[in-house]
């Protein structure tokens, strides 16, 4: 068992103060010479061996302070370099290794993507480049010299600032980069290749001019303009909102086409998956533009939350990721619509994190053990981590939160630190005891929060009773009560919030109830009339709320709640109940269908709500979300049919209003990616989807027309998706047309792959098999693989969950194959099975058979074996 435990953390016996790397690129191999200035740590005994990490390395030469080592002084394997008895003083270790980036299909360490040398070091890729103490608490300054053929790699980039370069003879050249900020090895990066670029600059609040560049393959420069704009807005926002300025003379971004992550925050040299850089209206959708904006911001924000202050060990990953996601979410909210951004973040949380937290892969936001750290870049660490920071901001208020953040930077700049240290600065700055709050980082599982109410007409007394419970998760059978901030209002008969004259039974701070116990009853005195409670406004805590409110009260909130998030939530709740009742065999009543449709139509026509909000209001809960709420004996076909019949009922009743809304938003204005225009398109396309899936007369033809006439990818793809989702008579032809006319760009090819993959249609699997069997299919590119099989497994519940088990086998066969080349991609796709125990018995057995087959075949990577073992546990 190779489990690593948080409790075993100990400081490294040696430190590495300075790293000088000399990297020489050749066509078929790369030589890396490293000069490491090493010194023993404070309490290290003389004679303590020094063990440097390696991964598939071959040592060519080794010396200390210029003197070659005798064989007995060290041991070198591909995984480690051990110095038996290093000097008990500062010394320089010199090593040289040879790498073959051309054959590195894992995309960790140094590899080549489209001929460009690039790196990915987080979490443990640097050890694939040179022997090193590859742990985030080893902070070093770096000087990097790169030499390459001038024609093959005219661009040579690394972290920090450029500090020299020139001719190296024989058609070769070199460049030197120095990074003055001590950093962990996971933030190291280099790029060498023949790249084009766009350039710009940003002047910081204190007047320093920073040179900005985005590098990409030739011909793609114009597609980087939106990313550059997002970068400049991010830099300005971090100054405004958190007082954080950029600290180097240059900030470079490089777009590469083969990348495991979305992007990587290497100091001064962010490397991006190209799908999160390239955008133009003909190839990128509004969702792509928004994704680019948020990830550009996210990686930039890491410069302070992650790079200047980093993690002591990988258990603390949430320290940088949860906080940085919170920061990028806030950026999006400030740049776009706050309630719409909140709805989108919560939808993502429920689609990705809640199922994780409720299944076999559940883990605390700060785990206390792992077998493979690559498997902990999860929705829990990222999205729940952001929710935890958001709750902290809710509890402390904006000014209190900012005070804590300021103290965090003041106290910990330059540190590799912990979640405890993060919480401690907020406790100190606010004078509050946050020890119970810290449980959010330590305890896995989504709390269930049940609420009941009582109203005493005679005394005008209104009570809310809360009961919280967190179900057991792997390794945590018992759960403690959590601090749950519940933002709320008591909505009166006219739709406005009512006041009260007194409150007892718990902590209430203006519009915030703070729950701390397993059970709490709060009584409000002097309430004018029986209220409808609006609870968890803005989704103030990541919990599953169930209340005793009936459908009529929910529809009242949908119309009147002062909190737009809860207006949306109320509609979701009503739809969820109607669909689940239908799954349970209760036919949709005319009265229910009318009442729900009326509320939707009213929302559609409401003044003061933006189109993006209305688009979300008109989107029914996803089938996977319905399955999660049902929780057991799940039959994806029954859920699909029930959801489908509600769509049909809406489309039948509201066809006219929907058609008018569609036409009213059909003006052919030039494309702009701004929030208002994107919202208009989102609403129009949501309406189209309802009409097409609802079988409204003429709707299928309308989708076909929109597909052909679309002036941008957002509208074209939406039309295609509606046709495919409903499998209209034209669906097959439209898929063919898209393949023929729009897939020369690999990022658009991904859209075609995903459109095929998510078709809820019996022929889907066969089509996917044919696509994968094509010898030209790019089977090493993570984006292509995820678009095809990731989309299928995560976003096509009826076909992945086919009763005959063929969908499950398709995915496990794929995982077995891809795992040999890229364990990260394979392990990630396999996580789709986290729901397997929630299926009805037939599907459950089929899924288990597929998983056990994968286990029995053996030979899996540590990444995939870990996910598989936990999934089956």
Enumerate binding residues for ligand BAL (CB under 6 A).
Answer: 122, 261, 263-265, 298-299, 302, 321
Residue 122 interacts with, from Zn ion, ligand BAL, none (CB under 5-8 Å by kind) = ligand BAL
Of 265 and 345, CB closest to ligand BAL:
265
Residue 261 interacts with, from Zn ion, ligand BAL, none (CB under 5-8 Å by kind) = ligand BAL
Distance CA 561, CA 198 (A): 47
CB of 298 to Zn ion, least distance (A): 5
Q: Per the structure block, which two tokens stand in for 104?
A: 């590195």
**Whether the Cβ atoms of residue 462 and residue 490 lie closer than 8 Å to each other:** yes
For residue 315, the surrounding DSSP H or E stretch is none
- By CB under 5 A, which span of 72-80, 242-250, 324-332, 691-699 interacts with Zn ion? 324-332
Question: How many other CB atoms are there within 10 angstroms of residue 672's CB atom?
Answer: 12
Q: DSSP states of 346-373 as a string?
A: HHHIIIIIHHHHTSTT---SS-SEES-G
Residues with Cβ within 8 Å of 715's Cβ and at least 6 positions away in sequence, in order, are: 681, 684, 685, 706
Residue 264 interacts with, from ligand BAL, Zn ion, none (CB under 5-8 Å by kind) = ligand BAL
- 637: Cα within 13 Å, side-chain hemisphere: 10
For residue 449, the surrounding DSSP H or E stretch is strand 448-456
- By CB under 5 A, which span of 191-199, 229-237, 315-323, 603-611 interacts with Zn ion? 315-323
**Within 34-134, where are the H helices?**
none
Of 62 and 108, CB closest to ligand BAL:
108
Of 186 and 202, CB closest to ligand BAL:
186
CB of 30 to ligand BAL, least distance (A): 23
- Geometric angle at alpha carbon 830, from 867 and 278, rounded to 5°: 120
Distance CA 411, CA 422 (A): 10
Residue 692 interacts with, from Zn ion, ligand BAL, none (CB under 5-8 Å by kind) = none
**Whether the Cβ atoms of residue 451 and residue 548 lie closer than 8 Å to each other:** yes
CB of 818 to Zn ion, least distance (A): 24
CB of 382 to Zn ion, least distance (A): 7
**Cross-strand partners of 489:** 534
Residues with Cβ within 8 Å of 186's Cβ and at least 6 positions away in sequence, in order, are: 121, 122, 123, 124, 125, 126, 134, 136
Residue 734 interacts with, from ligand BAL, Zn ion, none (CB under 5-8 Å by kind) = none
Residue 330 interacts with, from Zn ion, ligand BAL, none (CB under 5-8 Å by kind) = none
Q: Which of 235, 209, 253 is nearest to 301 (CA)?
A: 235
- By CB under 5 A, which span of 115-123, 224-232, 321-329, 486-494 interacts with Zn ion? 321-329
What is the 3-class SS of 558-627, one letter each residue? HHHCCCHHHHHHHHHHHHHHHHHHHHCCCCCCHHHHHHHHHHHHHHHHCCCCCHHHHHHHCCCCCHHHHH
Q: Where are the beta strands (DSSP E) in 217-349?
A: 250-256, 263-264, 269-273, 310-311
Residue with tokens 């051309």: 102
Q: Report CA 797 to chain centroid distance, whole Å.
A: 21
Residues with Cβ within 8 Å of 250's Cβ and at least 6 positions away in sequence, in order, are: 161, 162, 210, 211, 212, 213, 268
Instruction: Answer whether the bond into residue 639 is a cis peptide, omega within 30°.
Output: no
CB of 321 to Zn ion, least distance (A): 5
Strand ranges of the sheet holding 507-509, from the earlier edge strand across to the other edge: 507-509, 512-515, 484-491, 532-535
CB of 302 to Zn ion, least distance (A): 6
- 561: Cα within 13 Å, side-chain hemisphere: 28
**Whether the Cβ atoms of residue 571 and residue 599 lie closer than 8 Å to each other:** yes
Of 310 and 324, CB closest to Zn ion:
324
Of 302 and 628, CB closest to ligand BAL:
302
Of 299 and 715, CB closest to ligand BAL:
299
Residue 134 interacts with, from ligand BAL, Zn ion, none (CB under 5-8 Å by kind) = none
- By CB under 5 A, which span of 224-232, 317-325, 594-602, 706-714 interacts with Zn ion? 317-325
Residues with Cβ within 8 Å of 282's Cβ and at least 6 positions away in sequence, in order, are: 712, 713
**Cross-strand partners of 155:** 193
Q: Per the structure block, which two tokens stand in for 226?
A: 């939106």
Of 295 and 755, CB closest to ligand BAL:
295
Measured from each CB, the residue nearest to ligand BAL is 261
The burial of 211, by beta-carbon neighbours within 10 Å (0-12 exposed, 13-18 middle, 19 or more buried), is given as middle
Please give the backbone phi and psi of residue 339, each rounded to the nearest 5 degrees, phi first. Answer: -65, -35
CB of 186 to ligand BAL, least distance (A): 8
CB of 325 to Zn ion, least distance (A): 7
Of 298 and 751, CB closest to ligand BAL:
298
Residues comprising the chain, all counted? 873
Of 119 and 324, CB closest to Zn ion:
324
Q: Which of 75, 152, 160, 68 is nearest to 114 (CA)?
A: 152
Q: Is 677 a catalytic residue?
A: no
| Contact set for Zn ion, span 119-138 (CB under 5 A) | none
Q: Burial letters for 48-58: b for 16+ Cβ neighbours within 10 Å, e otherwise?
A: bebbbbbbebe
Of 273 and 324, CB closest to Zn ion:
324
**Which one of 299, 372, 383, 387 is the catalytic residue?**
299
- By CB under 5 A, which span of 54-62, 142-150, 322-330, 683-691 interacts with Zn ion? 322-330
Residue 784 interacts with, from ligand BAL, Zn ion, none (CB under 5-8 Å by kind) = none
Residue 628 interacts with, from Zn ion, ligand BAL, none (CB under 5-8 Å by kind) = none
In three-state secondary structure terms, 543 is coil
CB of 271 to Zn ion, least distance (A): 13
For residue 550, the surrounding DSSP H or E stretch is none
CB of 262 to ligand BAL, least distance (A): 7
Of 296 and 835, CB closest to Zn ion:
296
Of 25 and 382, CB closest to ligand BAL:
382
Residue 127 interacts with, from Zn ion, ligand BAL, none (CB under 5-8 Å by kind) = none
Residue 558 interacts with, from Zn ion, ligand BAL, none (CB under 5-8 Å by kind) = none
Q: Which of 322, 177, 161, 128 is nearest to 247 (CA)?
A: 161
Residue 112 interacts with, from ligand BAL, Zn ion, none (CB under 5-8 Å by kind) = none
CB of 854 to Zn ion, least distance (A): 30
Q: Per the structure block, which two tokens stand in for 435?
A: 């020890």
CB of 81 to ligand BAL, least distance (A): 26
Residues designated catalytic: 299
Task: List contacts with Zn ion (CB under 5 A).
Answer: 321, 324
């Amino acid at each position: 068992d190779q489990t690593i435990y948080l409790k075993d953390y100990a400081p490294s016996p040696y430190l590495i103060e300075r790293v000088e790397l000399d990297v020489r690129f050749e066509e078929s191999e790369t030589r890396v010479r490293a000069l490491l200035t090493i010194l023993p740590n404070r309490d290290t005994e003389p004679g303590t061996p020094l063990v440097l990490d390696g991964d598939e390395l071959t040592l060519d030469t080794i010396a200390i302070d210029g003197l070659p080592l005798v064989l007995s002084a060290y041991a070198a394997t591909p995984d480690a370099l051990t110095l038996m008895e290093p000097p008990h003083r500062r010394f320089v270790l010199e090593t040289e290794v040879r790498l073959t980036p051309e054959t590195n299909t894992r995309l960790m360490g140094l590899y080549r993507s489209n001929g460009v040398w690039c790196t990915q070091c987080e979490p443990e890729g640097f050890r694939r480049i040179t022997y090193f103490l590859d742990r985030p608490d080893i902070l070093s300054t770096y000087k990097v010299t790169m030499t390459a053929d001038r024609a093959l790699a005219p661009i040579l980039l690394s972290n920090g600032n450029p500090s020299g370069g020139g001719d190296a003879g024989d058609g070769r050249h070199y460049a030197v980069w120095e990074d003055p900020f001590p950093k962990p090895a996971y933030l190291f990066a280099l790029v060498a290749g023949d790249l084009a670029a766009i350039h710009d600059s940003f002047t910081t609040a204190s007047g320093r001019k920073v040179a900005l560049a985005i590098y990409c393959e030739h011909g793609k420069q114009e597609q980087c303009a939106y990313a550059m704009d997002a970068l400049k807005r991010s830099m300005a926002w971090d100054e405004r909102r958190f007082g954080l300025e950029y600290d180097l003379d240059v900030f470079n971004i490089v777009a590469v086409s083969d990348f495991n992550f979305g992007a990587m925050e290497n100091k001064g040299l962010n490397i991006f998956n190209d799908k999160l850089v390239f955008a133009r209206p003909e190839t990128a959708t509004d969702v792509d533009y928004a994704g680019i904006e948020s990830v550009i911001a996210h990686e930039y924000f890491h410069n302070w939350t992650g790079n200047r202050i980093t993690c002591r060990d990988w258990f603390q990953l949430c320290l940088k990721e949860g906080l940085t996601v919170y920061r990028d979410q806030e950026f999006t909210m400030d740049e776009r619509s706050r309630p719409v951004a909140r709805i989108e973040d919560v939808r993502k949380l429920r689609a990705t994190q809640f199922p994780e937290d409720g299944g076999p892969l559940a883990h605390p936001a700060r785990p206390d053990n792992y077998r493979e750290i690559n498997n902990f870049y999860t929705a829990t660490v990222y999205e729940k981590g952001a929710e935890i920071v958001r709750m902290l901001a809710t509890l402390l208020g904006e000014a209190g939160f900012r005070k804590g953040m300021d103290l965090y930077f003041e106290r910990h700049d330059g540190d590799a630190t912990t979640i405890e240290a993060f919480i401690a600065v907020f406790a100190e700055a606010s004078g509050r005891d946050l020890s119970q709050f810290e449980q959010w980082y330590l305890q896995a599982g989504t709390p269930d929060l049940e609420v009941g109410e009582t109203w005493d007409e005679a005394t005008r007394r209104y009570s809310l009773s809360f009961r919280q419970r967190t179900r057991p998760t792997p390794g945590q059978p018992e759960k403690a009560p959590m601090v749950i901030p519940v933002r709320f209002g008591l909505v009166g008969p006219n739709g406005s919030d009512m006041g009260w004259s007194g409150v007892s039974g718990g902590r209430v701070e203006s519009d915030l109830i703070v729950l701390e116990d397993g059970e709490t009853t709060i009584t409000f005195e002097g309430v004018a009339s029986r209220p409808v409670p609006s609870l968890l406004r803005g989704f103030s805590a990541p919990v599953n709320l169930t209340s005793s409110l009936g459908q009529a009260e929910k529809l009242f909130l949908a119309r009147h709640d002062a909190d737009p998030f809860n207006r949306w939530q109320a509609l979701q709740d009503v739809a969820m109940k109607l669909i689940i009742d239908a799954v349970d065999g209760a036919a949709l009543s005319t009265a229910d269908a009318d009442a729900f449709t009326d509320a939707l139509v009213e929302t559609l026509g409401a003044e003061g709500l933006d189109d993006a909000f209305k688009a979300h209001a008109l989107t029914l809960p996803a089938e996977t979300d319905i399955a999660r709420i049902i929780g057991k004996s799940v039959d994806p076909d029954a859920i699909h049919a029930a959801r489908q019949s509600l769509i049909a009922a809406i489309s039948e009743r509201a066809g006219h209003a929907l058609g008018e809304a569609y036409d009213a938003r059909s003006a052919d204005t030039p494309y702009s990616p701004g929030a208002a225009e994107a919202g208009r398109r989102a609403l129009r396309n949501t309406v189209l989807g309802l009409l097409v899936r609802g079988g409204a007369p003429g709707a299928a033809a309308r989708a076909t027309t929109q597909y052909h006439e679309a002036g941008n990818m957002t509208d074209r793809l939406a039309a295609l998706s509606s046709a495919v989702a409903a499998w209209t008579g034209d669906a097959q032809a439209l898929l063919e047309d898209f393949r023929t006319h729009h897939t020369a760009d690999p990022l658009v090819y991904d859209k075609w792959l995903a459109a095929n993959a998510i078709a809820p249609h019996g022929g889907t699997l066969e089509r996917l098999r044919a696509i994968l069997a094509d010898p030209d299919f790019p089977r090493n590119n993570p984006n292509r693989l995820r678009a095809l099989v990731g989309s299928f497994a995560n976003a096509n519940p009826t076909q992945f969950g086919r009763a005959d088990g063929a969908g499950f086998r398709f995915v496990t066969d794929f995982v077995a194959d891809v795992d040999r080349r890229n364990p990260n991609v394979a392990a990630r796709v396999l996580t789709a099975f986290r729901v397997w125990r929630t299926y009805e018995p037939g599907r459950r057995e089929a899924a288990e058979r597929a998983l056990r087959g994968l286990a029995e075949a053996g030979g899996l990577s540590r990444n995939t074996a870990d996910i598989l073992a936990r999934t089956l546990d």
